[in-house]
Amino acid sequence: MYLRRCYRSKDGKRHAYWALVQSYRTARGPRQRVVAWLGVMDERGRLGVRRSVQQQRQHQVELFEDQEPDWVEVDLKRVRVERSRKFGGVWLGRELMRQLGLDEFFARTLPQGREQVPWAVMAEELVLGRLCEPSSELHLAERFYEASALDDLLGVPAEKVNDDRLYRALDALLPHKQALEKHLKEKLGELFELDYDLLLYDVTSTYFEGEAANNPLAVRGYSRDHRPDCQQVNIALVVSRCGMPLGYEVFADSRNDATTVEQMVEHIEGLYGKANRIWVMDRGMVSEDNVEYLLEGGRRYIIGTAKNSLKKFERELMSEDWKQVHEGLEVRLVPAPGGKEVFILCRSAQRQAKEQAMHERFEKRIEDGLRKIAESCPTKRQQPGVIERRVGRLLGQNTRAAALFAVRVETDAVGSAQLRWTHLEAWREWARLSEGCYVLRNNVTDWAPEELWRAYIQLTEAEAAFRIQKSDLELRLVWHQRRDRVEAHILVCFLAYVLWKALAARCRQAGLGDEPRQVFQALAEISMVDVVLAARNGIEIRK
């Protein structure tokens, strides 16, 4: 044991106090724990404590002898609390990590070397920081670690935590991505009895603020975050029926979603084997090559199709032979030629009302815009080329109803442009027939249409996973530029989301619903404080 000098700031002044600290060994290396807070002491008092400690080592038997207890009188008016630290959130996150065996996994796969702080501990800190207060590694090292109870829970002093050590922990963690995915799949299956018969696959993108010159995957492309000015990467995620994450991959943003299917399927099958699972994907994944690849491998699938595929089913749309799944939703089964596939027509009343309102809104915008352009022709003697470009921009901004209008730009006797347009009623009739309808393509012939539809609707779980990672866990990679650091950052976000879903599953088991955010926020309000008892003889006892 030894004496440690500690400091705190109060009223703009720096005050020192002393703590009696004991060193001990663990499997993760040496640790220290505070035996007693001794408050402010002069040199005489410190010598007395050292002498007592030495005597205790020599005569430990005296600890069990009957002795007169020492006591002091506490001044209740001077009792105060100090060093308030956030405790509830980090404790909950660490408990979830323990239940999932992540602490043991880190200790086993990230063995301690010559570093002062084990990489396993730093990996825990990265995941807990992303779950409790997502921000940069610099903020985690300089703000959150000291403001939370991680010092007490992990046994690492705040002065040992810095952003450089956190970045190096990212480098140590990344090579174990596949082993982590396998470990979590087994643990989650044991704890929550998950079904892996349905695999939901979706893709999203996330963008950078910097140039990302050292990351070949970062390019400009279609931005789901409405930031086409920034470089991005794509993240492909596979989740279970209930939204529990199973695996992910990072792709260049220049790749079309459909080109990622084969690689992602092989990645998941390499981790978990090729069982009789059903792959569920949205229409962005559809291509004839992908369908052929899935069929050749004997894989089952349910895939959404593009809106224009409805044209092939115009006769079936007019049929009255529809089956109601629930109020506001009807389905109709249409076998494909050859019998290998089945198409399911779906008609949603809610979606129909939404699409009809959109068509009416865009039709009105185009009508008003054309009228405004036509009124400007005789007053400003517009040239036909100018009018054509204005019409083109107007239709391009309102594509939902652009096909309803047949627009002609004519020239009068003096060379001035005149605008004429008519409505194509055939398009309007088709729009009314197809509004609210969509087609599902699948080769699952032993399921009822309503079961297939419900399986496809489960894709919302994958979409919800992206929303939580982008909002609650702040996935955006604003602080990382290198490819390996970006991939390690996404891995930490993936692990934090696993903890989030594990908490949601625990809430369901306890009858608390399926909203872990409220439970986490309630527990995060719990703080840890030091209680200072000021004795009347001038001694301060810190607990």
* 3-state SS class at 214: coil
Of residues 506, 531, 466, 500, the one with CA closest to residue 234: 466
Phi and psi at 517, nearest 5°, equal -60, -45
Residue of 180, 163, 109, 99 whose CA lies nearest to 491:
180
Whether 31 shows a pLDDT value over 80: the answer reads: no
% of the chain residues with pLDDT over 90? 38
Whether 96 and 128 have beta carbons less than 8 Å apart is answered as no
Q: How far is CA 324 from CA 9, 327, 447, 459, 539, in A?
A: 69, 7, 16, 21, 78
| Interval 423-452 mean pLDDT | 90
Q: Where is pLDDT greater, at 241 or 105?
A: 105
| pLDDT score recorded for residue 63 | 41
Over residues 400-408, mean pLDDT = 93
Q: Identify the H or E element spanning 304.
A: strand 300-304
Q: Does pLDDT of 167 surpass 50?
A: yes
Query: Is residue 59 pLDDT above 50, yes or no?
Result: no
Among the listed ranges 8-12, 386-390, 414-418, which one has the minimum average pLDDT value? 8-12
pLDDT given for residue 64 in this prediction: 41
Instruction: Give me the residue label for tokens 């096909």.
Output: 403
CB 204 within 8 A of CB 223: no
Range 272-280 average pLDDT: 85
Instruction: Give the model's pLDDT for residue 10.
Output: 72
Q: b/e per residue, 365-378, with b = 16+ CB within 10 A?
A: ebbebbeebbebbe
Look at strands 437-442 and 342-348 and give their pairing: antiparallel
CA atoms within 13 A on the CB side of 291: 17
Instruction: Confirm if 442 and 339 have CB atoms less than 8 A apart.
Output: no
**Per-range mean pLDDT, top range of 169-183, 296-310, 330-344:** 169-183
Distance CA 249, CA 134 (A): 21
Question: What is the C-alpha to C-alpha distance for residues 404 and 400, in angstroms, rounded to an integer?
Answer: 9
Structure tokens at 106: 């880190």
* Matching residue, tokens 């290998």: 340
Q: Are strands 198-207 and 278-281 parallel, antiparallel or unpaired?
A: parallel
With cut-offs at 50, 70 and 90, classify the pLDDT of residue 62: very low
Furthest-apart CA atoms within the chain: distance in Å: 120
pLDDT for 410: 87
pLDDT at 61: 41
Of all residues in the chain, the percent with pLDDT exceeding 70 is 94
Q: Is the pLDDT of residue 218 over 60?
A: yes
Residue 7 has pLDDT above 80, yes or no: no
Residues paired with residue 406 on neighbouring β-strands, in sequence order: 422
Q: Flag whether pLDDT at 98 surpasses 90.
A: yes
Tokens 């789901």 map to which residue? 224
Rounded to whole angstroms, how far apart are CA atoms 335 and 53?
A: 85
- Residue 53's DSSP bridge partners are none
Residues ≥6 apart with Cβ < 8 Å to 42: none
Q: What is the mean pLDDT of residues 101-109?
A: 94
Contact predicate 20/1, CB 8 Å = yes
So what's the pLDDT on residue 46? 57
Q: What is the mean pLDDT of residues 74-103?
A: 91
- Residues 235 and 107: their CA atoms lie apart, in Å, by 28
pLDDT higher than threshold 50 for residue 35: yes
pLDDT at 94: 94
The model's confidence at residue 55, banded by pLDDT at 50, 70 and 90, is: low
- What is the identity of the amino acid at 115? E
Phi, psi of 113 (to 5 degrees): -115, -125
Rounded-to-integer distance, Cα 218 and Cα 253, Å: 7
Residues 115 and 124: their CA atoms lie apart, in Å, by 16
The pLDDT confidence band at residue 60, using thresholds 50, 70 and 90, is very low
Mean pLDDT, the chain, rounded, equals 86
